Amino acid sequence: MSLEWNLIFILFSSATLAVSFFKDRKKTRKALAVSGRSFLNMAPFFVAVFVLIGILEVFVPSSAIAALMGVNRGFIAVLFAAVAGGIMAGPPPASYPMADYLVKHNASLAAAATFIIAWVAVSTVSLPVEIRMMGSRFAWIRWSLTIVLSVIIGVILGWFM
């Protein structure tokens, strides 16, 4: 399953790259430079996340995840996911393998969605920067509304799935 997806997307992105290269070589070279730089910048986070997944897998019993974010925990699971995702810091793509780990250990899909949204959008660690640039009122309103939003979307997604 996973292998197929890898193949599909490698083919798809290579094709897109080829089209881009055909249209504008210079731009495409620049694009690849951006890709490489972004990946290298984020590499430490990826190493950390995959090490974390390994550590959780070996040292934390599956039942602990189920107890916090399990399917039968309902709304509580979503709240835990919002808090867990909200304190995480790292590139958005790293949130998906982490959420996948949670789902594999019986976390609900609602919790997984909330976790991803909270990780990407709530970003508690960048609050100081945000306060400096946008003002504290803006930052705090955005922060709290985003947490609420992540919970709401998680719950709705849970109904649909």
Partner 1 sequence: MKLKNWLEQNWMIVVISMVFVVLAVLDTRQTGRALIIGGTTFLSIAGVLVSVYIFIGLFSVWVKEDQVMRHFGEDSGWKGMFYGAILGTVFHGPAVSIFPLLKSLKDKGARMAIIVVIVSAFAIKIPVIPLELSLFGWKFTLIHNGLLFVTALPLGLVMERLLRSRNEQKER
Judged by CB under 8 A, which of 92, 106, 108, 136 binds partner 1? 92
Tell me how far CA of residue 128 lies from CA of 25, 54, 56, 152, in angstroms.
40, 31, 30, 26
Q: What residues from 96 to 115 belong to the interface with partner 1 (CB under 8 A)?
A: 96-97, 99-101, 103, 109, 112-113
Judged by CB under 8 A, which of 25, 27, 64, 136 binds partner 1? 27
Site of tokens 């997806």: 5
Answer yes or no whether residue 160 interacts with partner 1 by CB under 8 A: yes
Q: What residues from 29 to 48 belong to the interface with partner 1 (CB under 8 A)?
A: 30-36, 38-39, 42, 44-46, 48
Answer yes or no whether residue 13 interacts with partner 1 by CB under 8 A: yes
Judged by CB under 8 A, which of 17, 67, 71, 83 binds partner 1? 17
Nearer to partner 1 (CB atom), residue 49 or residue 79: 49
CB of 64 to partner 1, least distance (A): 15
Query: Which SS3 state, helix, strand or coil, does residue 161 take?
Result: coil
Q: What residues from 56 to 85 belong to the interface with partner 1 (CB under 8 A)?
A: 57-59
Judged by CB under 8 A, which of 67, 71, 76, 121 binds partner 1? 121
Query: What is the C-alpha to C-alpha distance for residues 15 and 49, in angstroms, rounded to an integer?
Result: 29
Site of tokens 């709530």: 122
- Angle (CA) 33-118-107 rounded to 5° is 110
- Angle (CA) 39-42-45 rounded to 5° is 140
Nearer to partner 1 (CB atom), residue 51 or residue 64: 51
- Torsion, CA 130, CA 133, CA 135, CA 141, rounded to 10: -30
The site that binds partner 1 (CB under 8 A) totals a number of residues, namely 79
Among the residue ranges 62-70, 71-79, 142-150, the one whose residues contact partner 1 (CB under 8 A): 142-150
For 9, what's the count of Cα atoms within 13 Å in the CB-facing half-sphere? 5
